[in-house]
Amino acid sequence: MRRVLVTGATGFVGQVLCAELAKAGYTVRAALRTERSLPAGMHEKSVVGEIDGKTRWDAALEDVDSIIHAAARTHVLRKSRNDAELYVRTNVLGTERLATAAVSAGVRRFIYVSTIKVNGEESAGPPYRPEDEPRPADDYGRSKLQGERILTRVSAAGRMKYAIVRPPLVYGPGVRANFLRLMSWVDHERPLPFGAVHNRRSLVSVWNLSDVLVRLLAPEADSGKIWLVSDGEDLSTPELIHRLAGALHRRARLVPVPPAVLRLCGLLTGTSAQVARLCGSLVLDGSETRKQLGWMPPVGMDEALRRTAHWYQEGRA
């Protein structure tokens, strides 16, 4: 039996992941929040509603061999004092409910898509490694760490094999937030004040992340491990802007403003978090993933950026 239940199947990661799973010969069942038609690569669907501590998973898990849990609350639209509770509802209680139901249903393997934010927001020293002590700095990162720990406990008690994947920023068609904003700035050839930034950041394309997730479903893949995955190139913000400009066929316009000035401006304008991501470093060490899985990123960064730029420009046409 090779039926895989995918949560977050209609998200920008999930759609590429489901297509890759179908290509690899798996029967893909999408767990959907609401009734809708299935995108390419998905064979079956099960409407489960909101993912939280009360979700009913019985029908969705019938005859399922493996789960890839890619759904998560990644941001809160309107900031309030209840933000932490919202992250916990989906990322902690929702994961616990699904993992417990999976054990009861006899699911063989559970792949949990976490985030490098579990390790921290900035890697001031050496690149993050799987064995490093977690130091999440925000409610989202803390909720994903709790989800990891709950999965570890539930899987061990139920003898279900599992894997935890911590990607950095994921990009590809459908990307939103800061990456999309940066693409828009570059596309409009705006002068960008990052010419004096000398940081390093790991990225992973949706195609490379999906390839690792599919490989972790193999029976021989180790259980109980944390896997870090990236494209294998760590770029500074100016380098990323130049690479995006090339993919978009635009001119990169960089102004050398000192990072200290940028951080001060972020503090004054309430955009400190965004400025920190553009000026700070966040690098992970994915060498163990490549070594143990015998894996190399199937899509190079320039090609992945080209595909992402094509999607962006198609949407503007």
- 204-262 confidence digits (pLDDT tens): 999 999 999 999 999 999 999 999 999 999 999 999 999 999 999 999 999 999 999 99
Does 194 fall in a domain?
no
Distance CA 31, CA 56 (A): 11
Does 213 fall in a domain?
yes
* pLDDT over threshold 80, residue 98: yes
Does 61 fall in a domain?
yes
140 a catalytic residue: yes
Q: What does the pLDDT average to over 260-284?
A: 93
Does 272 fall in a domain?
no
Which CATH number does the domain housing residue 21 bear? 3.40.50.720
Q: What does the pLDDT average to over 268-292?
A: 94
Active-site choice (87, 128, 140, 312): 140
Nearest CA among 200, 207, 216 for reference residue 289:
216
Distance CA 112, CA 147 (A): 9
What domain count does the chain have? 1
Cβ neighbours, 10 Å, residue 3: 17
Distance CA 123, CA 279 (A): 12
**DSSP, residue by residue, 209-264:** HHHHHHHTTSTTSPSSEEEE---S-EE-HHHHHHHHHHHHT----B----HHHHHH
pLDDT at 69: 98
Question: CB under 8 Å to 247, separation ≥6 — which residues?
Answer: 302, 305, 306, 308, 309
Q: How far is the first Cα of the chain from the last one, in angstroms, to the nearest whole number?
A: 43
Please write the tens of the pLDDT for every residue from 64-87.
999 999 999 987 655 656 778 999
Does 159 fall in a domain?
yes
Q: What does the pLDDT average to over 6-31?
A: 95
Does 60 fall in a domain?
yes
Does 253 fall in a domain?
no
pLDDT band at 38, cuts 50/70/90?
A: confident
Count CA atoms within 13 Å of residue 37 on its CB side: 2
Share of residues in the chain with pLDDT > 70 (%): 97
pLDDT band at 273, cuts 50/70/90?
A: confident
CA distances from 75 to 83, 139, 245 (A): 9, 9, 28
At which residue do the structure tokens 């590429």 appear?
A: 16
Does 195 fall in a domain?
no
| Domain of 220, in residue numbers | 3-173+202-232+283-298
pLDDT at 316: 76
pLDDT at 97: 98
Distance CA 19, CA 278 (A): 32
Q: What does the pLDDT average to over 132-142?
A: 95
The answer to whether 196 touches 243, Cβ cutoff 8 Å, is no
pLDDT band at 44, cuts 50/70/90?
A: very high
pLDDT at 181: 94
